[in-house]
A and B are shown apart, each in its own frame.
Chain A
Amino acid sequence: MPIEYLKETPSQTGGPYVHIGLLPAAAGLATRTQEQQHILTGAGERIRLTGIVMDGSGHPVRDALLEIWQADAEGRHNAGGFLGWGRGAADPVTGEWMFETIRPGQVPWRDGRPQAPHVSLLIFARGINIHLHTRLYLPDDAAALEADPVLRSIEQVGRRATLVAERTDAADVPTYRLVIQLQGEDETVFFDM
């Protein structure tokens, strides 16, 4: 018999009221109302990330809760006082979500090759039994995207574009938008990492 390890505690859906525990003010609780977890502060160029999560019938997932995790402007994690993590809720009416952060630097992959600038993204919602893990890539450097080792590990070349945000500078800061499709023709790539 192989060595037995402890078994990971199984996942269950965050449910429709996930905001109570993770973003209480978004649930309507008069608690921790000063928290602005969708705003990440650190040294670097300010950018805005926006998007929407769509279900298999083309309707927005308005109760989705998202978390991002990213490197600092120098491509480092847990460095220089930059938390690198944020949490935001989809708008309960429109389903739109938004983060304000800094432009992430290039992080070396396991073998030293540079990864294109990106943030990692987790999605929690009612009906999602185990959170979904994807990435939002910034579109600006086409050569870096072409060479990105994680994008290259997606066998179906056409699916790689599901992770690349669109630049939509309507605001005063560089703004990027990613539509995440949970199902369908253009289903977003989700990772098991």
Chain B
Amino acid sequence: MAPLGDIIRRDRLAHPQAFTPAYKTSVLRSPRRALVSVEPGPGENTGPIFKANILAPLDNDLIRNYAKDGEAVGERIIVHGKVLDETGRPVRNTLLEVWQANAGGRYRHHNDSYLAALDPNFGGAGRCMTDDDGNYFFRTIRPGPYPWRNNGSDWRPAHIHFSLFGDAFVQRLVSQLYFEGDPLIHLCPILGTLPDDAARQRLVAKLDMGNSVPFDALAYRFDIVLRGRRQTFFETQPEGL
């Protein structure tokens, strides 16, 4: 079997730095020494392969997957898009996991004590896999903004957390999706950890009226890019041999 091409190095300047004091929790949780740079090996150029049979039928429908006696309350939305790698290739059959607060900004988590009410019909967890063209979609309600203790009471813009694998362990990505036009985006210390507005814009989903479902749900489009893989035109002679 031909060796897999290396995953292309990560452009760390396009990501947040570890130490970002305006986001206070990062102060004690940020390594202070430089990361040690090493080329990826066989265990970095590969990653776990999840089978579609781990998914339950409602895993990608957060409006119904925790329903007890009705559907989740809130603005019904469909989020969809394409997962590509940096070279533009679709990332096929990869697991996408999402989690979020309910329409009132409350998480179903034992550590969340925000006064907004829980929705008995909303859990806030979903997952799906990309298809053969890298496309994904899930249905949910738009999460509410909520306050958190940072510089006094800061407010998080509405956001959906997401997690992706790709097909190499070093393509792993966990991030957050925001919504076009949310005025809290520019006030958020966590979005403020990003290096510039271009990076922030890459996390903003765009309203997609064409794919909205009449009298049912608005659609938002959100494309995701994972690290690319180098082609193996010529193999470097192994070092030391």
Contacts and interface: CB of A to CB of B under 8 A. Distances in A.
B72 interface: no
Contact of A111 (B32, B47, B240): B240
Nearest to B19: A129
Given A8-B227, A124-B174, A71 B39 contact: no
B157 to A, nearest CB: 11
A170 interface: no
Contact of A21 (B11, B42, B97, B173): B97
B29 A125 contact: yes
A52 interface: no
B238 interface: yes
B125 A20 contact: yes
A46 interface: no
Given A5-B228, A129-B17, A55 B125 contact: no
Interface residues of B, number: 85
A11 B25 contact: no
Give the dominant DSSP class at A's interface. Answer: loop
Contact of B29 (A9, A127, A133, A153): A127
A193 B39 contact: yes
Query: Is the interface on chain A under 10, 10 to 19, 20 to 34, or 35 or more residues?
Result: 35 or more
Nearest to B51: A83
A18 interface: yes
Given A31-B65, A190-B31, A133 B170 contact: yes
B217 interface: no
Contacts of B9: 192
Contacts of B8: 5
Interface of A: 5-22, 24, 27-29, 31-32, 55-57, 59, 61, 63, 67, 69-71, 77-78, 83-85, 92, 107-113, 115, 120, 122, 124-133, 150, 153-154, 182-183, 187-193
Task: Give 4 nearest A-B pairs by CB, closest first.
Answer: A21-B99, A127-B25, A85-B48, A111-B238
